[in-house]
């Protein structure tokens, strides 16, 4: 790749914009989260329109893909495909290499028909469309909400099984190919067996684009999980519409873009790439395309394939000047499929600033993806934009996109929002700033609509915090969290495990600190530490006592490392499991299936926005878990009307298979598109260290409980006992009958009781008296939300 | 409907319900009769899907 020498004239494109009818389509390719729109393409659309472009279309292909895959028709196709692809296993053991496929086929056999029947209802519920307008949606009822969410997760597992070994979840998309190598990435764009998006694009998206014939197609690639889907679409569009200029941009490409441009094989998938902030470069590119320019070297921050010689030569231009954020228009969400997001109420993302005003944390490279410097909008501009967006889109919920808000803004923004009577609720990331998040400051934030803040906490160990250059003390952490909690603002902590030289004891100290403060900390977003090539830890490894290991692939971004002391990467992965497992025991929102609230980006926030307090919500979650696990109300527990249990005979233990596949060693053998790592040797190591499953004697079954969307593995007599319960009516009635038998012993009866208690705890049985025990907490929550 | 007819109907319904309950209980007995209560395999296992780092994606919140 060459770098052009011509400096770009500063601010030249700030002249009065010329109107343009150029057809531009901006698309957000799969996979991103599904609860709310992403900000990138709405910001670009607004900019282009403000600069005179009259025909800018935007498409959220991620949520469209989820919607498409989660239909009865798609799931039927997936079921049939899984059946065609599943193979007989006649060996005495099930090795790791075949475990994933076996699990997929087994789950499909048990659940596919029920999923096909229920998928539409589950989607409607998460969208609040399960009832006529005005009636309370099942979204607000935890049991019904969790069932619907779980149904959709299982639906995606079925879709994934049909494209084995690919896995599409609401949080990630991985294939059997690695993001680390351009050869692998290109092969992934062509593999219809594994890549579900080829057919989706060909059948659903390409026909629309062919009719529209955009001259520029812009693809936003924020996450590693989008790389293959974006390039797949680019390739198809370039084949179908040779006159369309395909450009890409976004956070992930800010990291690996230079490497992508050094891989000419990928030139068949796109024409250019924007580094960092997209507004100015995209506008200049559109004007160049409109003029028919072949030389794009004047466009700042653009990398492009110069094809004038007949070959694709990668060229990277000099950086463009960043925009004045305060003068940029508010994002435009026009044309997005609002009805398809998996949320009953629209939550709008809005960027209050770009970059990070602190910018010192040694592990963090996030601010670099948007370009140099820190820029902010004024509080007045934000308030004006928010009111505009509120009225334009009829929603009062906002997600302020920011690495963190500076202390001045924490004071000014609430004042402006209150003065403008914005009447919104919002959530945002934040930094521990004790002078800003005072008691009064937090109250003022709540008054302005703030309902949830996510703080970069990272560690409770002074030594680690110092190495991270976090610039925060534990005293201020507690004080800030306490003040926010007292104001009924929910507090989430970002935490990290495995920072170089961190010991197990230190990680456990962090765990202990968080759990001791669970009265004010409601959620923890735990990450394992990893090193990308932009990070200070990569550039100055000696300072952190690590040795960076080389990465082989031509697109590699993340590196393994060896630490002079503390946990190895594998030990950190194990510690992640230990910490997460403890959080699941000790944080109400993480207990049992309440975890879905944490995993769905905005859903817990929507409860807070509706009036729930962090305390009332946590109490309702805790009561639900506690009563289920206590076995209370067992005597009148029964199978709900219409309960459907679909059994499949098991040759191997399903639960052992899932556990084995969840082991950090097995995970390391999979490409992880979050970190981009794909360690070939890990495959062998996992196969060597994780023993194969032994064939069962028979009698065990996997049951899909369609009414709770739960997989349960039952022993030999479980199904008959459940059927006996169905006939007897209640557990109490059945146990009475069993007790009357001459051969009944206390131990035998206790086993039967324990069996039903477990089913009750899993939600497979319902009990009116158990429900009554959670009624107080539930009523308090409903009253708060009323 | 005259009151006496209502009463008769309610009585009949109650009898039917009681009959159905008795029948269900008998059915339950039949199902469990040949189960050896001392040697039941009533294990219940579920696989708690582990939350992996990629499911708590810092970008995904």
Which range of A370-374, A505-509, A717-721 scores highest in mean pLDDT? It is A505-509
Out of A89-98, A435-444, A725-734, least confident range = A89-98
CA A149 – CA A553 distance, rounded (Å): 37
Residue indicated by tokens 């269900």: B24
ipTM above 0.90 for this complex: no
Measure the CA–CA gap between A539 and A171, rounded to whole angstroms: 30
The pair phi, psi for residue A521, each rounded to 5°, is: -105, 120
Asked if A711 reaches chain B (Cβ–Cβ under 8 Å), the answer is: yes
The string of pLDDT tens digits covering residues A551-601 is 888 998 888 888 889 998 889 988 998 999 999 999 999 998 899 999 888
Q: Are A291 and A264 contacting, i.e. CB atoms less than 8 angstroms apart?
A: no
Taking every pair of Cα atoms in chain A, the longest distance, rounded to a whole number of angstroms, is: 96
Q: Tokens 């004038």: give the residue.
A: A308
Separation of alpha carbons A679 and A232, rounded Å: 24
CA A509 to each of CA A262, A387, A504, A513, A582: distance values in angstroms, whole numbers, following the listed order: 45, 44, 9, 6, 13
Q: Report whether pLDDT(A768) > 60.
A: yes
Q: How far is A403 from chain B (nearest CA, A)?
A: 11
Confidence of residue A741 (pLDDT cuts 50, 70, 90): confident
**Token pair for B59:** 């970008």
**What percent of chain A is predicted at pLDDT more than 90?**
74
Closest-CA distance of chain A to residue B3, Å: 32
Q: What percent of chain A has pLDDT over 70?
A: 96
What is the rounded average pLDDT for all residues in chain A?
Answer: 92
DSSP string, A82-108: HHHH-----SSEE-HHHHHHHHHHHHH
The pLDDT, as a whole number, for residue A682 is: 76
Return the minimum-mean-pLDDT range out of A125-129, A310-314, A570-574, B22-26: B22-26
**Cα nearest neighbour of A737 on chain B:** B29
Q: Does A699 touch chain B (CB under 8 A)?
A: yes
Chain B residues with beta carbon closer than 8 angstroms to that of A577: 50
CB A567 within 8 A of CB A503: yes
User: Looking at the partner chain, which of B32, B46, B49 has a beta carbon nearest the beta carbon of A724?
Assistant: B32
Which segment of A40-54, A350-364, B28-42 scores lowest on mean pLDDT?
B28-42
Chain B residues inside the 8 Å CB shell of A715: 40-44
Ramachandran region, residue A313 (left: φ > 0; alpha: ψ -120 to 50; beta: rest) = beta
Shortest distance between the Cα of B51 and any Cα of chain A, in A, equals: 7
Alpha helices (H) in A213-364, listed in sequence order: 227-240, 251-260, 279-291
The answer to whether the CB of A158 falls within 8 A of the CB of A112 is: yes
Q: How far apart are CA A291 and CA A296, in angstroms?
A: 11
| CB-CB neighbors (< 8 A) of A749 in chain B | 37
| Residues of chain B with a CB closer than 8 angstroms to some CB in chain A | 21, 24-25, 27-29, 31-32, 35-38, 40-61
Whether pLDDT at B24 is above 90: no
Kindly report the pTM of this predicted structure.
Answer: 0.92
Contact (CB<8Å) A171/B31: no
Tokens 């009898």 identify what position? B15
- Secondary structure letter of residue A310 according to DSSP: S
To test the contact with chain B by mutation, choose from A365, A404, A717, A752 the residue with the greatest count of B C-beta atoms within 10 A, namely A717
For strands A375-376 and A450-458, give the pairing.
unpaired
pLDDT of residue A668: 72
Q: Computed over its alpha carbons, how large is the radius of gyration of chain A? A: 27
pLDDT at A9: 41
The answer to whether the Cβ–Cβ distance between A751 and B31 falls below 8 Å is no
H, E, C per residue of A444-461: HHHHCCEEEEEEEEECCC
A171 inside 8 A of chain B by CB: yes
In three-state secondary structure terms, A283 is: helix
Most A CBs within 10 Å: which of B28, B30, B38, as the mutation test of the A interface?
Answer: B28
The rounded distance, in Å, linking the Cα atoms of A520 and A514 is 9
Q: Which residues of A touch B55 (CB under 8 A)?
A: 169, 171-172, 599
Mean pLDDT, rounded, for A112-140? 94
Rounded mean pLDDT of A368-387?
91
**Count of CB contacts below 8 A, A vs B?**
152
Contact flag B53-A713 (C-beta cutoff 8 Å):
no
Q: Is the model more confident about A264 or about A67?
A: A67
Tell me the shortest Cα–Cα distance from B28 to chain A, in angstroms.
Answer: 4
CA distance B13 to chain A (A): 18
What's the rounded mean pLDDT across residues A723-729?
91
Q: Is the pLDDT of residue A201 over 60?
A: yes
Q: Quick one: pLDDT at residue B47?
A: 84
Q: Scanning every residue of chain A, which has its alpha carbon at the shortest distance from the alpha carbon of B44?
A: A714
b/e code B1-36 from CB counts within 10 Å (16+ = b): eeeeeeeeeeeeeeeeeeeeeeebbeebbebbeebe
Which residue of A lies nearest to B36 if distances are taken between CA atoms? A743
Mean pLDDT of A601-613: 95
If we measure between CA atoms, which residue out of A652, A708, A744 comes closest to residue A154?
A708
Helices (H) and strands (E) in chain B, counts: 1, 1
Residues of A in contact with B46 (CB under 8 A): 655, 710-713, 762
Distances (CA, A) of A543 to A467, A537, A546, A564: 9, 8, 8, 11
How close is the nearest chain B Cα to the Cα of A540, in Å?
24
Q: What is d(CA A465, CA A447) in angstroms, rounded to the nearest whole number? A: 32
Strand order in the sheet with A397-401: A347-351, A397-401, A425-430, A450-458, A490-497, A523-528
* Mean pLDDT of the A590-616 span: 93
The pLDDT mean for chain B works out to 67
**Are A737 and B61 a contacting pair at CB < 8 A?**
no
The CA distance from A657 to the nearest CA of chain B, in Å, is 9
Longest CA–CA span in chain B (Å) reads 72
For residue A7, what pLDDT band results from cuts at 50, 70 and 90? very low
pLDDT of residue A5: 42
């Amino acid at each position: 790749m060459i770098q052009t020498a011509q400096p770009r004239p500063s601010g030249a494109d700030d002249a009065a914009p010329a109107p343009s009818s150029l057809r531009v389509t901006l698309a957000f390719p799969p996979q991103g989260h599904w609860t709310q729109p992403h900000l990138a393409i709405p910001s670009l659309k607004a900019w282009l329109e403000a600069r005179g472009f009259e025909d800018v279309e935007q498409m959220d292909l991620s949520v469209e893909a989820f919607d498409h895959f989660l239909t009865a028709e798609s799931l039927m196709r997936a079921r049939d495909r899984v059946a065609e692809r599943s193979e007989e296993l006649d060996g005495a053991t099930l090795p790791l290499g075949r475990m994933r496929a076996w699990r997929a086929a087994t789950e499909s056999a048990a659940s596919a028909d029920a999923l096909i029947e229920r998928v539409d209802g589950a989607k409607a519920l998460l969208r609040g469309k399960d009832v006529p307008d005005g009636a309370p949606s099942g979204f607000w009822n935890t049991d019904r909400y969790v069932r619907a969410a779980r149904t959709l997760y299982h639906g995606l597992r079925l879709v994934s099984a049909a494209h084995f070994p690919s896995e599409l979840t609401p949080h990630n998309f991985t294939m059997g190919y690695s993001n680390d190598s351009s050869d692998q990435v290109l092969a992934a764009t062509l593999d219809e067996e594994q890549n579900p998006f080829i057919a989706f694009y060909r059948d659903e998206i390409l026909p629309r684009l062919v009719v529209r014939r955009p001259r520029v197609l812009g693809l936003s690639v924020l996450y590693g999980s989008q790389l293959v889907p974006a390039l797949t679409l680019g390739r198809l569009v370039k084949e179908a519409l040779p006159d369309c200029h395909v450009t890409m941009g976004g956070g992930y490409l800010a990291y690996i873009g230079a490497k992508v441009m050094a891989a000419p094989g990928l030139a068949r998938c796109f024409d250019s790439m924007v580094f960092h902030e997209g507004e100015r470069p995209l506008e200049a590119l559109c004007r160049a395309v409109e003029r028919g320019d072949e030389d794009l070297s004047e466009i700042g921050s653009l990398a492009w394939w110069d094809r004038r010689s007949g070959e694709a030569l990668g060229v990277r231009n000099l950086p463009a000047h960043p925009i004045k954020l305060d003068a940029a228009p508010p994002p435009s969400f026009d044309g997005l499929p609002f009805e398809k997001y998996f949320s009953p109420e629209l939550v709008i993302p809005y960027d209050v600033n770009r970059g990070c005003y602190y910018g010192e944390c040694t592990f963090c490279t996030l601010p670099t993806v948007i370009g140099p410097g820190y820029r902010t909008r004024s509080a007045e501009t934000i308030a004006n934009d928010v009111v505009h967006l509120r009225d334009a889109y009829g929603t009062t919920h906002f997600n302020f996109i920011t690495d963190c808000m500076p202390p001045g803004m924490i004071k000014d923004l609430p004042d402006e929002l209150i003065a403008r009577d914005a009447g919104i609720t919002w959530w945002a990331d934040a930094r521990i700033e004790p002078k800003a998040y005072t008691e009064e400051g937090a109250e003022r934030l709540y008054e302005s609509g703030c309902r949830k803040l996510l703080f970069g906490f990272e560690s409770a160990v002074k030594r680690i915090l110092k190495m991270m250059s976090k610039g925060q003390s534990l005293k201020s952490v507690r004080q800030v969290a306490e003040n926010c909690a007292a104001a009924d603002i929910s507090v989430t902590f970002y935490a990290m495990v495995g920072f170089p030289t961190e010991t197990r004891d230190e990680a456990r100290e962090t765990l202990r600190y968080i759990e001791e403060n669970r009265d004010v900390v409601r959620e923890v977003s735990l990450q394992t530490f990893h090193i990308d090539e932009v990070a200070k830890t990569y550039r100055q490894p000696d300072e952190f006592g690590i040795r960076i290991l080389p990465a082989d692939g031509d697109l590699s971004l993340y590196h393994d490392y060896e630490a002079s002391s503390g946990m190895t990467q594998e030990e950190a992965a194990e510690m992640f499991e230990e910490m997460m497992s403890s959080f699941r025991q000790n944080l109400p929102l993480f207990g049992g299936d309440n975890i879905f609230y944490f995993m769905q980006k905005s859903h817990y926030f929507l409860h807070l926005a509706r009036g729930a307090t962090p305390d009332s919500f946590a109490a309702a979650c805790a009561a639900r878990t506690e009563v289920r696990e206590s076995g209370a109300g067992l005597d009148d527990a029964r199978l709900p009307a219409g309960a459907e249990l679909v059994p499949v005979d098991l040759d191997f233990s399903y639960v052992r298979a899932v556990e084995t596949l969840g082991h950090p060693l097995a995970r390391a053998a999979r490409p992880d598109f979050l970190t981009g790592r794909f360690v070939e040797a890990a495959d062998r190591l996992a196969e060597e260290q994780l023993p194969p499953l032994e064939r069962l004697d028979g009698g065990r079954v996997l049951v899909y409980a369609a009414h709770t969307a739960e997989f349960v593995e039952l022993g030999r007599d479980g199904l008959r006992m459940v059927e006996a319960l169905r006939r007897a009516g209640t557990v109490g009635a059945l146990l009475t009958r069993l007790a009357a038998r001459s051969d009944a012993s206390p131990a035998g009866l206790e086993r039967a009781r324990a069996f039903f208690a477990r089913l009750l705890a899993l939600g497979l049985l319902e009990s009116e008296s158990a429900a009554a025990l959670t009624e107080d907490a539930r009523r308090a929550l409903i009253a708060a939300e009323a | 409907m005259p009151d006496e007819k209502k009463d008769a109907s309610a009585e009949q319904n109650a009898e039917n319900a009681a009959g159905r309950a008795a029948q269900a209980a008998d059915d339950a007995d039949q199902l469990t009769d040949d189960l050896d209560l001392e040697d039941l395999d009533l294990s219940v296992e579920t696989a708690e899907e582990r939350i992996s780092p990629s499911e708590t994606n810092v970008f995904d919140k």
